[in-house]
Amino acid sequence: MRKTILKLIAALSIFTISATALTFIATTNAHAASVKMKVTAPNTDKLNMRKGPGVKYSTIRKLNYNTVVTRTKVSGSWSKITYKGDTGWVSTKYLRKVAVKGATFPLDNFTIVVDAGHGGSDDGAYYYNTSEKSVNLKAAKELKKQLEYEGANVIMTRSSDKTLSLPGRVNISKKTKPDAYISLHHNASKTGNKTDKGYLALYTKSKEKAFTKSVYSGMKSVLSTKTTVPYEGYRYQNLHVLRENPYIGTLVEYGYMSTPSELEKIDKDSYRKYAAQGIVKGVINYFD
């Protein structure tokens, strides 16, 4: 919403300025299409920056791991970049986007899939007249709002109370090709224990462990100062929506519905707001 409002203000301003200023704005917008990227070639190797989009072109320079470059164009599996005055091409598979901390929209150019677990005929956990599907959707809508506030393009797997299969959720991610996939759930004790407590984050693929840790750490940094809901940690779990998903992701459990005192705390708009702030902080930190 913030991004939309600022764009509308900018659009209205255009009608009041001169043709010279319009030319300047067009140039600025063209430059704004560029994206900050980070080199992800192995630590022990360097990425070749070439004169053209292919290995047949000679190397201009070699880029170290974690070097930040600016991508200005994509051609097939190659990206045109600039770095320290040089312009060249690198293999896109060795680049990832960078969230620019301090920018108006640090997640601009990022696409995030937000998955509200369960839905429709699938209630998920159900305790004390509260269905998991309903609180998952509330949490997902709040997270969507917070991500969009930071500039991200957010795709929801569901925005209403509808039935959606696990493969269906994964297919949405495959079609979207997001930078990250975040599935939201609320936990329940597997032993019937009414004292289990804590939020946690889960990963399945080894490549999403760091992302999950960052999301969890972001949540912990916010929730530890805003609520008494404890933390449970982050860990591996074999989950369909992550295992079958080619993109990095995490599944977040907001807390235990099966514990009455915890459900009272986590089923609140304020808690959803703070949890979303923490998740967004973790996403930005990961992509920084």
Task: Give pLDDT tens digits for 183-217.
Answer: 999 999 988 889 999 999 999 999 999 999 999 99
Burial state string for 201-234 with b = 16 or more CB within 10 A and e = fewer than 16? bbbbbeebbebbbbbbbbbbebbeeebebebbeb
The residue type of 84 is: K
The structure tokens listed for 276 are 């979303």
The residue type of 16 is: T
pTM: 0.83
- Tell me, rounded to whole angstroms, the distance of Cα 238 from its chain centroid: 20
Burial state string for 129-151 with b = 16 or more CB within 10 A and e = fewer than 16? ebbbbbbbbebbbbbbbbbbbbb
268 secondary structure, DSSP code: S
Task: Give pLDDT tens digits for 239-268.
Answer: 999 999 999 999 999 999 999 999 999 999
Asked if pLDDT for residue 20 goes beyond 50, the answer is no
Residue of 31 and 148 predicted with greater confidence: 148
CATH architecture of the domain 111-287 equals 3-Layer(aba) Sandwich (3.40)
93 secondary structure, DSSP code: G
The structure tokens listed for 43 are 């630590």
H or E stretch covering 235: strand 231-236
- Environment class of residue 42 by beta-carbon count within 10 Å: exposed (0-12), middle (13-18) or buried (19+)? exposed
Domain boundaries, the chain: 2-25+34-97, 111-287
- Distance (Å, rounded) from C-alpha 26 to C-alpha 142? 34
Domains 2-25+34-97 and 111-287 share a fold: no
pLDDT score at 1: 60
| Residue among 50, 106, 42, 108 nearest 77 (CA) | 50
Q: How confident is the model at residue 27 (pLDDT cuts 50, 70, 90)?
A: very low
CATH of 2-25+34-97, one of 3.40.50.80, 2.30.30.40, 3.40.50.300, 3.30.70.260: 2.30.30.40
- Distance (Å, rounded) from C-alpha 252 to C-alpha 136? 10
The residue type of 108 is: D
